[in-house]
Structure 1
Amino acid sequence: MPAVVSMPQPVCLIENHGSNLVVNKDSVKILSEISEPVVVVAIVGKYRTGKSFLMNRLVGCNSGFPLGSSIQSKTKGIWMWCVPHPQKPGHVLVLLDTEGLGDVEKGDSKNDTWIFSLTVLLSSALVFNSMGTIDQQAIEQLHYVTELTEMIKLKSIATKDETAEYKKFFPSFTWCVRDFTLVLERDGKEITEDEYLMMSLELKQGENAQNYNLPRKCIRNFFHSHKCYVFDRPTSTKNLHRLDELRENELEEEFVEQAARFNGHIIKSSGVKTLTGGITVTGKMLGNLTTLYVDTIQSGSVPCMENAVLALAEIENTGALQYALSNYECGMNKNVPKFPTVSEQEFLTMHRKCEQEAIKVFMRRSLNDKAQKYEQKLKNQINKKRKEFVKRNEDASIDVCNKLLKELSLTIQNGLMQGRYSRPGGHKLYLEDKLQFLNKFNRMPGKGVKSLEALENFMQENKNIEATILQAEEKITQAERRLAASHIQAMQSQCQRQFVEKQNRDLQQSMDHRSATHQQHINSLTERMEQERRRRMQENESMIRQKLQAQQSTLNSSHQQSVDELLRTIQELQRQNSQRRQSGGGGGGGNGCIVC
């Protein structure tokens, strides 16, 4: 089913107040209500280059993100628009429109760098928008990419050069060249837009080529895929100030066709936002990530993706634990009207069903709980709640039994008040009434798990009645006294024996339940480990394909050193996949932990 998102127009996600970035709480609230996975497409580029207009067309309209018609930048901070994904049911498309980079009115290049870095951190597809051609000046506008390793850390403690690792977690890269007037040719041969991009990113040789090569290397190495689209001017110069008012047939036909190709690629090829470990990001998680990153920046620190995942896991697992525990309580509360249960086994069946459903709910929402810290917390909390429901079930049983005992004993009580047992033969009458009382009680259904205990307590409370009757009966013989005492003792022994047998049955049922729950936990862990192994193999195979593409491009530009580096990386990825295939059927470790 399509994701349910009601957001008629964009809202500001991150407000930019000079040197301060502030997360808009209303926007985070909107994201917190989105439990579906998100595809996050963000656009960056110099101000007044038509970024907002291009993003609006992804939603199918010319208006939405404010366009502006003057030399002043209209968009401040980062704006967000959430809509149901048009091709991926159950997913949400999140569009992020950023304020223009290089706005002279700001006078703070650091602020631009943070806006660019946040866009990279939050998106799964990054679009860079520029004007004219891809030349040295356009490349220099992307100098922010050379600062990413200083503005974003993958791990809290770096142990090696992490440049190659960024590609696994950064978004795809698409360069849109607006108002393009050149012919796509090289050496007299027609080339594609993608070939034009890779040609523009070719490296130079020589000692003085470092500054030239650095941004190009970063673009090639940081992003896992590269696309390029060129666009004619959308309309005549005199109509540019009212683009949001123009109908489709008032736009240039060539631009409409180019925009349709761009839209088709972005909608079809942009992936779901993921984090380290293959964690799929939902709208709620995206809101928490935004808050975590902005708070880190405002504190003067550098955002760390590893720390962000740990902090996000803390938030998500705490929420998953509470949600799963609430699920268990709701399930058990639905069974409360059935209390008291006929037997302990009936209660354990109810509990086991609700517990299994709660664990499933937790597993679906938990995040990176490899040490099973929160899963164990959940089990402890469920066990505590189970004891509360056990007591409620037992209390209900005692209440039912006490009312029943009081009602059934009315015949004896009336007999006592009327002096029925205070005459010769009275003890015999009492025993007959007492036997009838016990038979009726035993036949009555719905007494619950505490019926024997309730009966034993009742008998204990009324044990002096029979002795009083015996003393009051003048003609009773010593033999009758002994017979009566033996009868009482036999009944009490029988009650005690039944009580012990019930306790033994309850203990065995509890042990069977724990064994079944433990096996279910082992099965869940084994399945999770197999999914993790397959995901890592898929990730490496994807990297191999990308590295092969990069190898071909590098061969064209005759850089043998880059070729050797790519070959070594491919061989390492192939070696890792070979090891994972050999260990694929190995199962989990004896202690139940997942080893990455």
Structure 2
Amino acid sequence: MEEPVCLIDTGPDGRLRVQQGALQILEQIQQPVVVVAVVGLYRTGKSYLMNRLALRRKGFALGSTVESKTKGIWMWCMPHPSKCGNTLVLLDTEGLGDVEKGDEKHDMWIFFLAVLLSSTLVYNSMGTIDNVALEKLHFVTELTEHIRVKSTNDGETTELMRVFPSFVWTVRDFMLELELDTKPISADEYLEHSMRLKTGSSRHVVQLNRVRQSLRDFFLVRRCFVMERPASSAKMKRVEQLTDADLEPSFVEQANDFCSYIYHEAQVKTMRGGRELTGRTLGDLAEHYVEAIRSGQVLCLESAVESLAKIQNSRAVAEALGFYQAEMAEKVQFPTETQEALSKVHMEAEQQAISKFMKASFHDPDEKHLLQLRASLEGKYRELCKRNVKESHKLCWEVLRQVFASLEDGISSGSFMRPGGYEEYRSELDRGVEHYRSKTGKGLMGEEVLVEYLEEKHVVGKTILIADESLTELQRKAEGERNPDKVKVKAHQGNSHCHWILV
């Protein structure tokens, strides 16, 4: 992808929808995907951070005004910079708290989708991690109200922790010293210190503690990166034109540390049970969640897995079957000389097709779809066997018509219906059989069709023999009548030799 495309936006009806163009791109990605999504207030530099991850100055829309540029969720897919065989998918989300939009519920769904679709969630904020910044993350307290692991609530928090993404907090324009009690601390320690529960029972403290506790409960892996202001305000107005040489060296180092962490530590997106997602299953997942939101359903991870399994496994069966048919069409020249020749190609293609299914399948514990594939492959093989017999049978008869053409002409014209005709007929038939058997490429029905043909000619041969004998007798009698004084000879068979007697 040379540039990002919109994955999810708002339709004319005011409801979220998935863009088909983005799904078509994801459909082509069969590698495991590492999905990094960024969320946060609008105009805080989220898109700039994503562009750095993409190793581009331009890509996700940037701006130097108070107007929010990103609407919905935008996607950029690229080969992973450090993990061969994986695809990096960057998701840039619409800024939270856009005053022009003013739709808290819309913000909530965008946040939830970022959580559910990503393997690493980046929360981007400005200044410091304080109560105000934590208040903006209040959506995390509503996760269990709108997201379920399964139909029951038993152990929801623990289950969600296992499937939720890792959490990275990036603090932009950070101007403080990382110290605590006069001792230097890391950015990660700064985050954990800021997330300590506050004492008190006021409504405000209770709400802040809920956010802190939810972050701890739902995001097992938490990291923090602080970044100083990249450049002066004047330079930031043309941020897309700036190179690293135009930026503060400390910012460049901090931003590079963040990118290095994402490249090396962000994991492949998985579902329950550790099932890895490819691009196409990520697209299916986005469709499933958006449809659930549109219909007002609770977002259930268990039903998402079931939905993905149904879609992906049906697709995997169809593709494996299509591969098998293509392989057989390419490698089998009908008719085959033997059944074993066809069977050998079938077994190789079947094994490859099953292997492709296993790689593409998604959660098929009872092997329902695998059994369906095996049954379909067996059915296709039976069809090919029937075709092989039919093609061979047809070709054999074509060869028979060619090699026995003179014999058939003789039968049709009656040329064999004369004294001595049967011997000539038999000689012509034997020559035809020898010629027919010397022909190659007839397939496995060669002898069966020949037997069928010879059986047809058995009656014809008997008729010719009877005619030959009758006509020969008539001819002998006729000659005797024309030459009555001709010597007649009778042969008498003795025990050990023949005696010829003149009559």
State the distance in 1 between where 2:388 and 2:317 align.
25
Structure 1 residue aligned with 2:271, among 275, 280, 283?
275
Determine if the alignment matches structure 1 residue 259 to structure 2 residue 255. yes
Give the aligned partner of residue 364 of structure 1.
359
| CA gap 1:458/1:241 in 2 versus in 1, 3 angstroms | same
Per-residue CA deviations over 1:36-83 (Å, capped at 9, x if unaligned) read 211111111111111111111112233221122222212111111112
| CA gap 1:410/1:269 in 2 versus in 1, 3 angstroms | same
Structure 2 residue aligned with 1:16, among 10, 20, 32?
10
Could you tell me which amino acid in structure 2 is paired with residue 245 of structure 1? Q
Structure 1 residue aligned with 2:171, among 170, 177, 180?
177
Determine if the alignment matches structure 1 residue 239 to structure 2 residue 232. no
Determine if the alignment matches structure 1 residue 227 to structure 2 residue 211. no
Give the aligned partner of residue 182 of structure 2.
188
Could you tell me which amino acid in structure 2 is paired with residue 236 of structure 1? S
Q: How does 1:74-223 map to 2 (within 5 A)?
A: 74-155=69-150, 157-204=151-198, 210-223=206-219
More helix by share: 1
Give the aligned partner of residue 381 of structure 1.
376
State the distance in 2 between where 1:430 and 1:250 align.
102
Give the aligned partner of residue 245 of structure 2.
249
Contact 1:177–1:229 (Cα < 8 Å) also in 2? yes
Could you tell me which amino acid in structure 2 is paired with residue 359 of structure 1? I
State the distance in 1 between where 2:129 and 2:403 align.
96
State the distance in 2 between where 1:415 and 1:247 align.
94
State the distance in 2 between where 1:94 and 1:415 align.
78
The alpha-carbon deviation at position 341 of structure 1 amounts to 1.6
State the distance in 2 between where 1:238 and 1:417 align.
104
Contact 1:470–1:476 (Cα < 8 Å) also in 2? no
The alpha-carbon deviation at position 427 of structure 1 amounts to 2.6
Could you tell me which amino acid in structure 1 is paired with residue 187 of structure 2? E
Per-residue CA deviations over 1:157-195 (Å, capped at 9, x if unaligned) read 215131011111111101111111221111121111111
Contact 1:122–1:290 (Cα < 8 Å) also in 2? yes
State the distance in 2 between where 1:136 and 1:176 align.
16
State the distance in 2 between where 1:216 and 1:434 align.
98
Contact 2:31–2:86 (Cα < 8 Å) also in 1? yes
| CA gap 1:237/1:412 in 2 versus in 1, 3 angstroms | closer
Instruction: Give SS of 2:299's match.
Output: coil
Instruction: Give SS of 2:77's match.
Output: strand
Percent sequence identity over aligned pairs = 46
State the distance in 2 between where 1:397 and 1:314 align.
41
TM-score for both structures, normalised by structure 1: 0.75
Contact 2:332–2:342 (Cα < 8 Å) also in 1? no
Structure 1 residue aligned with 2:56, among 54, 61, 64?
61
| CA gap 1:420/1:67 in 2 versus in 1, 3 angstroms | closer
The alpha-carbon deviation at position 215 of structure 1 amounts to 1.0
State the distance in 2 between where 1:414 and 1:300 align.
82
State the distance in 2 between where 1:64 and 1:71 align.
19
The alpha-carbon deviation at position 135 of structure 1 amounts to 1.2
Contact 1:172–1:223 (Cα < 8 Å) also in 2? yes
Q: Which runs of 4+ in 1 moved over 6 A?
A: none
State the distance in 2 between where 1:46 and 1:475 align.
112
State the distance in 1 between where 2:456 and 2:346 align.
34
Per-residue CA deviations over 1:14-38 (Å, capped at 9, x if unaligned) read 1135842121221111211222211
Contact 1:401–1:451 (Cα < 8 Å) also in 2? yes
| CA gap 1:314/1:417 in 2 versus in 1, 3 angstroms | closer
Give the aligned partner of residue 306 of structure 2.
310
Determine if the alignment matches structure 1 residue 467 to structure 2 residue 462. yes
Contact 2:36–2:118 (Cα < 8 Å) also in 1? yes
Instruction: Give SS of 2:387's match.
Output: helix
Contact 1:19–1:111 (Cα < 8 Å) also in 2? no
Contact 1:83–1:92 (Cα < 8 Å) also in 2? yes
Contact 1:42–1:95 (Cα < 8 Å) also in 2? yes
Residue segments in structure 1 that go unaligned for 5+ positions in a row: 1-6, 479-596
Could you tell me which amino acid in structure 1 is paired with residue 164 of structure 2? F
Instruction: Give SS of 1:228's match.
Output: strand
TM-score for both structures, normalised by structure 2: 0.88
Give the aligned partner of residue 498 of structure 2.
none
Contact 1:422–1:472 (Cα < 8 Å) also in 2? yes
| CA gap 1:260/1:100 in 2 versus in 1, 3 angstroms | same
The alpha-carbon deviation at position 477 of structure 1 amounts to 11
Residue segments in structure 2 that go unaligned for 5+ positions in a row: 474-503
Contact 1:37–1:90 (Cα < 8 Å) also in 2? yes
Determine if the alignment matches structure 1 residue 458 to structure 2 residue 448. no
The alpha-carbon deviation at position 198 of structure 1 amounts to 0.7
